[in-house]
């Protein structure tokens, strides 16, 4: 009886040790798969996940992940190729539009030197206004392709964010006056310095202000905190949550009748990310808030 009990205990111990060893090997293989998967997702590589485990389930898992990685790589290449083609097309279109626009401006200048009737002057002014709008949109298209195509890191230096906000608001004084907008401004008493690119930051703020002026219901509020977060707020009746989420999408405009390419906030987002900052928008109680802040 004692002999058979000893045999049972011995066999049980061998089984337990075998299972423990196998479990340890499976866990080691899973940890390696997890590590390799993270590396493959972060790096643009064709190297597959390889496991030395003899466990069938582990090998099937690795094979399945390799199939998904191959599909993900194919989709990424397709997206990058299409995105590159789109950028090149935008650049070519903006270049092609510049020549006829220059000719139009030339003929307009000649037309201004002619004796025109009252109606003729009105028509000439309307043509010039539309040409100016088209030129602005063409420059915005070209500027967007430059921003997104430039892979070099933006040079940074200590920048007074408070001073940039003040400067941008001052440059829009005439526009505010024309629109009947009296901005409510709250800025820190002392300057706020951060390592940023001054030109890029200025363009970010100008694009946000320009967007606010286009879509505001007649007001604008600018708040800045001591840590460098700047929030631009304005009433925007009828703006939905879905529209707010798409504000930074390229070519998206809330009102398609507006004279806009829908690239202003897309450029602002790209430049903000290149500087290592964050940008976002939220609409609460029909008040749109667009904020820019250092990453936490």
Residue 38 corresponds to which tokens in the numbers above? 């993270």
Return the CATH fold of 157-294: Heat Shock Protein 90 (3.30.565)
pLDDT greater than 50 at residue 281? yes
More confident site: 53 or 258: 53
Asked whether the beta carbons of 216 and 289 are under 8 A apart, the reply is no
Asked whether the beta carbons of 114 and 234 are under 8 A apart, the reply is no
173-206 in b/e burial notation, b at 16+ Cβ within 10 A?
A: eeebeeeebebeeebeeeebebebbbebbbbbbb
pLDDT at 137: 73
Q: Which of 147-151, 169-173, 283-287 has the lowest mean pLDDT?
A: 147-151
- Express each pLDDT in 3-35 by its tens digit: 566 656 666 666 767 666 666 766 777 677 777
More confident site: 146 or 283: 283
Span(s) in the chain for CATH 3.30.565.10: 157-294
Span(s) in the chain for CATH 1.10.287: 89-149
- Express each pLDDT in 167-196 by its tens digit: 999 998 888 888 888 989 999 989 899 999
Q: Would you report the helix, strand and coil content of the chain in percent, each value rounded to 5?
A: 60, 10, 25
Domain 89-149 has CATH 1.10.3470: no
Asked whether the beta carbons of 183 and 221 are under 8 A apart, the reply is yes
The pTM of the full predicted model, rounded to 2 decimals, is: 0.59
CA dist 161 and 223 (Å) reads 12
């Amino acid at each position: 009886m004692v002999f058979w009990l000893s045999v049972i205990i011995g066999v049980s111990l061998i089984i337990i040790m075998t299972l423990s060893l196998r479990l340890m090997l499976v866990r080691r293989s899973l940890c390696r798969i997890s590590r390799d998967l993270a590396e493959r997702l972060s790096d643009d590589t064709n190297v597959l996940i390889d496991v030395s485990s003899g466990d069938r389930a582990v090998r099937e898992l690795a094979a399945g992940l390799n199939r998904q990685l191959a599909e993900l790589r194919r989709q990424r290449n397709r997206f990058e190729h299409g995105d590159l083609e789109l950028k090149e097309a935008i650049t070519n279109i903006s270049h092609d539009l510049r020549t006829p626009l220059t000719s139009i401006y030339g003929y307009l200048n000649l037309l201004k030197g002619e004796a025109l009737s009252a109606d003729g002057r009105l028509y000439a002014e309307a043509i010039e206004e539309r040409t100016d709008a088209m030129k602005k949109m063409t420059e915005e298209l070209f500027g967007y392709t430059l921003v997104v195509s430039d892979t070099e890191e933006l040079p940074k230096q200590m920048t007074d964010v408070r001073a940039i906000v003040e400067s941008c608001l001052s440059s829009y004084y005439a526009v505010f006056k024309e629109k009947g907008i009296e901005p409510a401004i709250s800025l820190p008493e002392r300057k706020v310095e951060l390592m940023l690119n001054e030109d890029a930051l200025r363009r970010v703020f100008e694009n946000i202000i320009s967007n606010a002026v286009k879509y505001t219901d007649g007001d604008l509020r600018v708040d800045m905190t001591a840590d460098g977060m700047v929030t631009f707020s304005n009433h925007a009746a009828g703006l939905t949550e879905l529209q707010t989420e798409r504000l930074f999408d390229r070519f998206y405009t809330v009102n398609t009748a507006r004279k806009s390419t829908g690239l202003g906030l897309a450029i602002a987002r790209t430049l903000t990310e290149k500087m290592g900052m964050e940008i976002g928008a939220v609409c609460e109680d029909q008040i749109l808030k667009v904020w820019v802040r250092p990453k936490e």
